[in-house]
């Protein structure tokens, strides 16, 4: 089975990592729209336009399923993509909500959703969680985590000050949804600041979602991967090497 993984840039590599660890696909085409990253600060129409262009890009590669790894694109463009695609298109928000359901039994658990301004602005995590009868949900846009990860700042004073800036006024959090594919690189730091809150990670969620909803239970011994980017593909490949190491 051949999957396309679409992200606004390098963030979706954290989703790719989970797919590789789980050996879900035989072939993966990864496309990062690095020429126009980030999506999370842009408006809905722009995100839809760029996502539809990405779909056209994948038409050259005969994929069986498209995974929208970017939370901002999942939040704003998933319906537009589904309307025109001839293959299944799945996003990371539905899968994130499914992951909360399977991990968290207590409907009164204090859940924090963090993401880009676009993702949090869509309110889709909160709506989905309330549909599943979770009652205590707090959503915060934490856009600065994105450039910190892009710059490789994964610890130190700037990160500590940023954690404090976003989270200092929160009361107890039990579970935090990492609603942006950049955030798993800060997973330990975020969880630790929030008194070891349970983390929900888009990549792990997608793997589970593919198994439950699309019966993707085969394990492929090797996965062939091709990387494409709208700007600086060598930079994307280098980041993939740094983040994914031996999985490639």
Which residues bind to a copy of itself, rule: CB under 8 A?
Answer: 34-37, 41-43, 45-46, 143-144, 146-148, 150-151, 153, 156-158, 160-162, 164-165, 230-232, 235
Tell me the closest approach of the beta carbon of residue 165 to a copy of itself, in angstroms. Answer: 6
Q: 180, 190, 207, 216: which is the annotated catalytic residue?
A: 180
Tell me the closest approach of the beta carbon of residue 60 to a copy of itself, in angstroms. Answer: 21
The b/e string for 28-56 (b: 16+ C-beta within 10 A; e otherwise) is: bbbbbbbebbbbbebeeeebbebbbebbe
Tell me the closest approach of the beta carbon of residue 29 to a copy of itself, in angstroms. Answer: 21
| Token pair listed for 214 | 């699309």
Angle at 235 (CA atoms; ends 74, 179), nearest 5 degrees: 25
Annotation says 216 is catalytic: no
- Residue 115 or 143: the one with the smaller Cβ distance to a copy of itself is 143
Strand order in the sheet with 136-141: 136-141, 110-115, 175-179, 198-201
Q: Which residues contact 234 (CB under 8 A, 6 or more apart)?
A: none
How much is the CA Rg of the chain, to the nearest whole Å? 17
Quote the distance between the C-alpha of residue 214 and its chain's center.
19
Tell me the closest approach of the beta carbon of residue 231 to a copy of itself, in angstroms. Answer: 4
Q: Bridge partners of 141?
A: 115
- Residue 8 or 24: the one with the smaller Cβ distance to a copy of itself is 8
Query: Nearest CA to 206 among 9, 22, 80, 2?
Result: 22
- Residue 142 or 199: the one with the smaller Cβ distance to a copy of itself is 142
Tell me the closest approach of the beta carbon of residue 49 to a copy of itself, in angstroms. Answer: 8
- Residue 88 or 233: the one with the smaller Cβ distance to a copy of itself is 233
- Residue 131 or 157: the one with the smaller Cβ distance to a copy of itself is 157
Q: Are 200 and 104 in contact (CB under 8 A)?
A: no
Annotation says 180 is catalytic: yes
Taking residue 106's Cβ as centre, other Cβ atoms within 10 Å add up to 11
Q: Which residues contact 35 (CB under 8 A, 6 or more apart)?
A: 229, 230, 231
Query: Nearest CA to 102 among 175, 187, 11, 21?
Result: 175
Q: 3, 65, 69, 70: which is the annotated catalytic residue?
A: 70
Catalytic residue numbers, as ranges = 70, 180
């Amino acid at each position: 089975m051949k999957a396309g993984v679409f992200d606004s840039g390098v963030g979706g590599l954290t989703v790719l990592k989970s797919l590789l660890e789980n050996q879900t696909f035989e072939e993966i085409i990864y496309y990062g729209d690095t020429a126009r990253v980030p999506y999370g600060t842009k408006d809905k129409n722009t995100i839809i336009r760029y996502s539809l262009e990405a779909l056209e890009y994948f038409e050259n590669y005969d994929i069986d399923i498209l995974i929208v790894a970017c939370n901002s694109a999942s939040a704003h463009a998933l319906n537009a993509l589904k309307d025109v695609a001839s293959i299944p298109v799945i996003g990371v928000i539905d899968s994130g909500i499914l992951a909360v359901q399977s991990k968290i039994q207590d409907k009164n658990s204090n859940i924090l959703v963090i993401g880009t301004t676009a993702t949090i602005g869509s309110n889709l995590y909160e709506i989905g969680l309330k549909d599943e009868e979770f009652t205590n949900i707090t959503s915060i846009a934490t856009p600065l985590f994105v450039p910190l990860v892009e710059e490789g700042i994964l610890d130190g004073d700037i990160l500590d000050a940023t954690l404090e800036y976003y989270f200092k006024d929160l009361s107890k959090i039990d579970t935090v949804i990492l609603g942006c594919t950049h955030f798993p690189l800060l997973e330990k730091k975020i969880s630790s600041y929030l008194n070891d809150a349970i983390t929900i990670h888009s990549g792990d969620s997608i793997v589970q979602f593919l198994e439950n909803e699309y019966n993707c239970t085969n394990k492929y011994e090797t996965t062939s991967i091709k990387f494409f980017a709208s700007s600086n593909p060598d930079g994307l490949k280098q980041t993939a090497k740094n983040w994914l190491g031996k999985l490639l």
